[in-house]
């Protein structure tokens, strides 16, 4: 009985939080910044040292895409992953690390899937995977391994994508 009561309280809390998030989204907008803009091209550079931070910001990037759409802007986005962040992209790369941060790894996988469904390209720097000993064959198929994340970033910016640097 206690577990059912605890489960019900958890579901109720989740429902309240989701309702609050939807209300918060509707309360605020970015109309001044988006004035006259119908499309936005952005390239996110992410570089984190923790699975928790990676999971948090990957989820925020999904929210950014959805926020632009909700406000009438057609987003075209690319995420470029460099540095130690590459260690957190596959649950198979480091089973011990995955065990310690299973919830974060699951969240990252969900974000990768959601971004892929929205047509967001996610690129992973091969130099970083080499330095941090991540086997590229273990990365999710939704990810594109590129030779050099910095070169990719330069290329996207030269194509008109606006840089959104996200690192800690």
Residue spans per domain, the chain: 39-167
Instruction: Encode pLDDT of 45-66 as tens digits.
Output: 999 999 999 999 999 999 999 9
CA distance linking residue 65 with residue 75, whole number of Å: 6
Please list, in sequence order, all residues whose beta carbon lies within 8 angstroms of the beta carbon of residue 9, skipping any fewer than 6 positions away. Answer: none
Q: Which fold has domain 39-167?
A: Hypothetical Protein Ychn; Chain: A, (3.40.1260)
pTM: 0.83
Between the alpha carbon of residue 144 and those of residues 1, 120, 124, the distances in Å are: 48, 11, 6
Can you give the pLDDT at residue 95?
Answer: 80
| Segments of the chain scoring below 50 in pLDDT | 1-24
- Residue 95 backbone zone (phi > 0: left; psi -120 to 50: alpha; other: beta): alpha
Is the four-CA dihedral 108, 114, 120, 126 of positive or negative sign? Answer: positive
Residue 66 tokens, joined: 């959805």
Can you give the pLDDT at residue 97?
Answer: 81
């Amino acid at each position: 009985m206690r577990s059912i009561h605890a489960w019900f309280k958890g579901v109720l809390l989740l429902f309240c939080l989701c309702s609050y998030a939807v209300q918060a989204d509707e309360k605020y907008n970015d109309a001044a910044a988006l004035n006259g803009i119908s499309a936005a091209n952005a390239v996110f550079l992410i570089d984190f040292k923790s699975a928790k931070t990676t999971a948090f910001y990957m989820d925020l990037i999904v929210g950014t895409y959805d926020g632009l759409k909700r406000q009438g802007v057609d987003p075209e986005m690319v995420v470029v992953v460099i540095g130690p962040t590459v260690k957190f992209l596959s649950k198979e790369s480091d089973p011990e690390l995955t065990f310690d941060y299973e919830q974060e790894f699951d969240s990252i996988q969900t974000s990768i899937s959601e971004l892929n469904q929205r047509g967001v390209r996610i690129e992973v720097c091969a130099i970083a995977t080499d330095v941090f000993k991540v086997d590229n064959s273990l990365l999710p198929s939704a990810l594109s391994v590129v030779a050099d994340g910095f070169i990719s970033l330069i290329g996207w910016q030269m194509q008109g994508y606006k840089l959104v640097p996200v690192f800690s």
